[in-house]
Homo-oligomer: A and B are copies of this chain.
Amino acid sequence: MNKQELARLAATHPKRYSLPQVFYRDRDVYRHDIEQIFLKSWLYAGHQSEIPEVGDWFLFEFDQESVIIVRSSETEINALLNVCQHRGSRVCVESSGCSKRLTCRYHGWTYDLDGELKAAAHMGESFDKSGIGLKKIHVGMLHGMIFINFAADPAPFSLVKEGLAGCLESYGLENAKVAHRQSYPIASNWKLAVENYTECYHCAPAHPEYSRGHGLAFPGSRSDQLGLDVMGRAAVCGLSDKTVNRMYMDAPAFGADFSYDRYPLIRDHLTGSFDGQPLAPLMGSIKDYDGGTTDLQVGPVTFGLMYCDHVVIYRFTPLGPDTADCDITWLVRGDAEEGVDYDREKLIWLWDVTTHADKTIIERNQKGVNSRYYAPGPLSEMENFTWNFLSWYLQSFRSAA
């Protein structure tokens, strides 16, 4: 469907209704999504603890793109496009590694950790290596979390950092480590996965494991007495009680969304575990469990679930028009020892079982949306954030037309 038709469809879409089928299936829409959303937004790549030594790198891949996230010095991390400047081969081919230089295994072209071409055999005397290199894209660091942005001139990452000032410090995320990281492929358009993440209307019907401990599964949990109690205890436990909600339509600039929002755990849960009991040592400078948990968002497709003893980072990316990747990272204190201070299986249990359930329901959603008899339906009062996301998404077609 061409840009004009899509822009018209987006402009006339009724408020608080799900999107027409074309937005979940069409290849032109998919191209729009990549170019107008993903290549212009801050995306979570990983955590600095994954590349502690100079030369350590890992790959971040989505759609047809591959980015090398590499520590180029003790204080700097680069994001380099993984496309050799000779005939286009991938340069790094494993999911992670460590090397002083990045050598393409096809013809041996060799780049330094800043991406500059340092060696290329048999290129003739007139060949000038200077100016040839792996393309560098923007990197933003947030308490040890690495974000990247493909845009030539992206929204300043400082907007996010400043906007979240005073919120994250006590979690000590720069000193955290990755306890587990896992990819969950979902046979759906990426937007159905984000829609699913941004509402808890489905929590009660679909996630008994989550709902038995988390107030958000029920409306009004943020403002009820329990919610107020949690907020009152936050400061004593060393947690911020700030609430910032600058996502999507309310973001300070395109692709630089952020939010920090707390809500109460219920039935005496202290954290997101099977029995509500602690899973790992308290994060950072947190002094005690205050009975709440935190929703974090950075950019349009990265979300965090911040418990007092661990943090779970979600990132949604498209692998194709009808396949999305849900990448989940579990962070614990950097000095926590697996098997001693935490049990990996228990740590990941809640969000692993919940994500498997989400994968199933999102895929059923895509199947239904594929029907020619699907039509946009009305959203509930518990889908406000989803509508915020959808409004913002629809608006992206305005400028594109």
Contact = CB atoms under 8 A, between A and B. Distances in A.
Interface in A88-114: 88-91, 93, 105-108
A81 interface: yes
Contacts of A372: 64-65
Interface in A334-384: 361, 364-365, 367-382
Interface string A278-306: 00000000000000000000000000000
A122 B87 contact: no
A56 to B, nearest CB: 21
B107 A365 contact: no
B108 A368 contact: no
B88 A369 contact: yes
A393 interface: no
Interface string A229-271: 0000000000000000000000000000000000000000000
B89 A381 contact: no
A77 B219 CA distance: 38
A152 to B, nearest CB: 12
A122 B380 contact: yes
Interface stretch (A44-52, A163-171, A199-207, A324-332): A199-207
A295 to B, nearest CB: 19
5 contacts: A65-B373, A85-B375, A86-B380, A88-B375, A106-B365
